[in-house]
Amino acid sequence: MRTTLIVGNWKMNGSLPGVIELVESIVAGEVKNARFAICPPAVYLMKVGGMLDGSEIALGAQNVCDRESGAYTGEIAASMLKECGCRYAIVGHSERRALYHESDELVARRFAMALNSGITPILCIGETLEERENGDTEEVVSRQLDAVIDSQGIAAIAHSVIAYEPVWAIGTGKVATPEEAQVVHKNLREKLAALDTRVAEQVQILYGGSMNASNAGELLSQPDIDGGLIGGASLKAADFIAIGQSV
């Protein structure tokens, strides 16, 4: 049985006082029917990690460097994230792929670096509106997933989380219907099952894209949707907790 995982991706939002208040409210409101993780901006990881001590809410990073250490200005090593207490690292978010030109290969290397450092990668995949309208959804998400499987092997997927995030639904308020999302999640699981049934059964596949307290219940009731990667709605403690409550 896969547990439900609700991950908050705060992106580049907040301020130190705001972050402290948000974490305090999330910790106070935590419910037990889902697991939670929060991914604050990197500069706040250490602070938030300390505040999460003693709670069951996990800490995650929004990205991780594909190199161990050295002259990579602006990047953050997996070992550093580990020191901050990160259990998860998002890799391949569509904003990274689109705005910072991260290729499937680079994302696969970031994935590997997290995994090899004992951090669970949350691999984001998803199609643009144009790709969906052209009927290319399956092809796109398969290609993005294959880049990781081809380089890391199917067994690596068992130690990761996959987040299906249709790009057209991210930050737009335009959520995929539960049925639309379930079709993609089911196909992804079947694709994995063709390689390894146990991995397919185990791996959590999250949905992301305008998930909020009012649509989460229906999305999370789909058999192959195991949680959510939440952007906007994770910035308000009550909304974020309510998503976990709707399981």
Query: Do residues 111 and 91 touch, judged by C-beta distance below 8 A?
Result: yes
Rank residues 233 and 237 by Cβ distance to ligand PGA and give the closer one: 233
Rank residues 49 and 209 by Cβ distance to ligand PGA and give the closer one: 209
Q: Which parts of 152-181 interact with ligand PGA (CB under 6 A)?
A: 165, 170-171
CB of 126 to ligand PGA, least distance (A): 9
User: Which one, of 121, 187, 188, lies nearest residue 151 by Cα?
Assistant: 121
- Binding residue (CB under 6 A) for ligand PGA from 40, 231, 237, 241: 231
Tokens of 40: 């604050």
* CA 133 vs CA 146, 150, 169, 241: distances in Å: 22, 27, 14, 34
Buried-exposed string 233-247: b where 16+ CB fall within 10 A, e elsewhere: bbbebebbbbbbbbb
Query: Do residues 201 and 209 touch, judged by C-beta distance below 8 A?
Result: no
209 part of the interface to ligand PGA, by CB under 6 A: yes
230 vs 122: CA distance, rounded Å: 13
Rank residues 149 and 213 by Cβ distance to ligand PGA and give the closer one: 213
Query: Do residues 189 and 162 touch, judged by C-beta distance below 8 A?
Result: no
- Number of residues interacting with ligand PGA: please give it, by CB under 6 A: 13
211 part of the interface to ligand PGA, by CB under 6 A: yes
210 part of the interface to ligand PGA, by CB under 6 A: yes
Rank residues 77 and 119 by Cβ distance to ligand PGA and give the closer one: 119
Q: Which parts of 103-142 interact with ligand PGA (CB under 6 A)?
A: none
Q: Which positions touch ligand PGA (CB under 6 A)?
A: 9, 165, 170-171, 208-211, 229-233
